[in-house]
Amino acid sequence: MTRGTDPTDPTDSAEHPAPDLTSLTAVRLLDGYRTGAFGPVAVTRAALERAREIQPEVNAFVRLFPDRALEQAAASEERWRRGEPRGLLDGVPVTVKDILLLRGAPTLRGSRTVDPAGPWDEDAPSVARLREHGAVFLGKTTTPEFGWKAVTDSPLSGVTRNPYDPARTAGGSSGGAAAAVALGAGPLALGTDGGGSVRIPAAFCGIFALKPTYGRVPLYPASAFGTLAHVGPMTRDAADAALLMDVIAGPDSRDWSALAPAPGSFREGLDGGVRGLRVAYSPSLGGQVAVAPQVAAAVRRAVERLAALGAYVEETDPDFPDPADAFHTLWFTGAARVVQHLTREQRGLLDPGLREICAAGARRSALDYLAAVDVRMDLGRRMGRFHDTYDLLVTPTVPRTAFEAGVEVPRGAGHRRWTGWTPFTYPFNLTQQPAATVPVGTDADGLPVGVQLVAARHADALVLRAAHALYASGAARVPGAAGLTPAGG
């Protein structure tokens, strides 16, 4: 499963041999289409072959669409030949997490309780925007059942594994999407994030991911997890994420909570750097989190790079206690709502851990729920005041690197649920803030480490700009480059 190095030029000449098309970012694929260096059909064939190659060991996909994808790629290639590309992503291969509707394909949500017969006649808003912009749909990626936990395994599709070590987890709940991007099975992926579900697997798999401000990317059908659930891009770098956000952001009449259109392109100002930004660096949320030493060291180096690039960095912590109990109330009651319609026989088909949290959620009262909402509002107020002083908050994304596959929590860690080892991510679903993860190195076992960048609500462009600065300075890594090569067999 080894990858070649990232090409330096998407052209084919004696000085620049034919590139590995699976290693190119979406931005560079589009450059190649414009110059005629290669076309969408060759790129799609390469991505499909990569997906087939990795599937037996990593299990990133629920299903692939080879015939449909090649038809879409051929139509795109003809548009490029005529000089009439459709939209911003014409011919770029994308994958869609099997939580989001994709017309003409079952969306089973990792569950044996969903009827594959459908009908499946509607796209989710973000998928519809991709279709309008000419993207090529490679397939649907794996998820735990209904996206309930931060690792990716389900009774329906089994265990999804880490590109750097298949004995370890890819993280979750968008683990299939992260593994696919890391291994070249499409440069762009749509994931969902209700408590860290794009950021956690991206950190474990060494790619970039953004959880946008809630409502920035519309969601339909509405999530049972309510306003905790975000749709976000998972990509090879921040520039690709900005491009994808320009496509998927914006209102959709099916989402009552969608925001108004963004004031401009997310690609504008991407090269603005971080000089003058006020950055709060919190290595452990005020000592609340035990962080693995090698993770802490890699994150600190990234923070030092931000300072070297001109940011004003202060080591300080946001003032909030661990909101896990409130998050559990909101999350568990959402899960209970997901399965409320199921028969006793269908409930017997569920992931046992999901059954546990559904039972816990069903025991919560309306007053318990409203008390959790009070905690959430207070946390949002605290973070709003915090960002009056600081433009960015920087933390580790996850306090450790990837652990053994097939379990919800690391063995011997003493945690009861996945929230025990993800304390840096779920608070910012409660507050609805934009938060991204950037790969900034590896530990002694070669497993990726991510740094998390958080900004005030609606400051998605700022998060992308700061992340891009880390890529441009060489502090962030692209999978397959600079020795950061997924391998395993």
Query: Which of the residues are catalytic?
Result: 97, 173, 197
| Residue that the structure tokens 């998060």 belong to | 463
Reply yes or no: is the peptide bond before residue 173 cis, omega within 30 of 0: yes
d(CA 356, CA 336) in angstroms, rounded, equals: 10
Pairing of strands 278-281, 392-396: parallel
| Residue 397 per-residue DSSP state | S
Angle subtended at Cα 152 by Cα 149 and Cα 154, rounded to the nearest 5 degrees:
90
Quick one: which H or E segment has residue 211? strand 208-211
d(CA 44, CA 21) in angstroms, rounded, equals: 9
Angle subtended at Cα 231 by Cα 225 and Cα 233, rounded to the nearest 5 degrees:
150
Q: What are φ and ψ of residue 459, in 5° steps?
A: -95, 40
Q: Environment class of residue 176 by beta-carbon count within 10 Å: exposed (0-12), middle (13-18) or buried (19+)?
A: buried
d(CA 73, CA 70) in angstroms, rounded, equals: 5
Cβ pair 422, 204 in contact under 8 A: no
Count other Cβ atoms within 10 Å, centred on residue 477: 25
| Residue 161 per-residue DSSP state | B
Count other Cβ atoms within 10 Å, centred on residue 114: 17
Q: End-to-end alpha-carbon separation of the chain, Å? A: 6
| Rg (alpha carbons) of the chain, rounded to whole number | 21
Angle subtended at Cα 257 by Cα 251 and Cα 263, rounded to the nearest 5 degrees:
40
Count other Cβ atoms within 10 Å, centred on residue 6: 20
Q: Which alpha helices (DSSP H) does 254-323 contain, by range?
A: 293-308
Count other Cβ atoms within 10 Å, centred on residue 14: 5
d(CA 463, CA 468) in angstroms, rounded, equals: 9
Closest Cα partner for 25 from 45, 42, 43?
43
Residues 6 or more apart in contact with residue 223 via CB below 8 angstroms: 192, 194, 229, 334
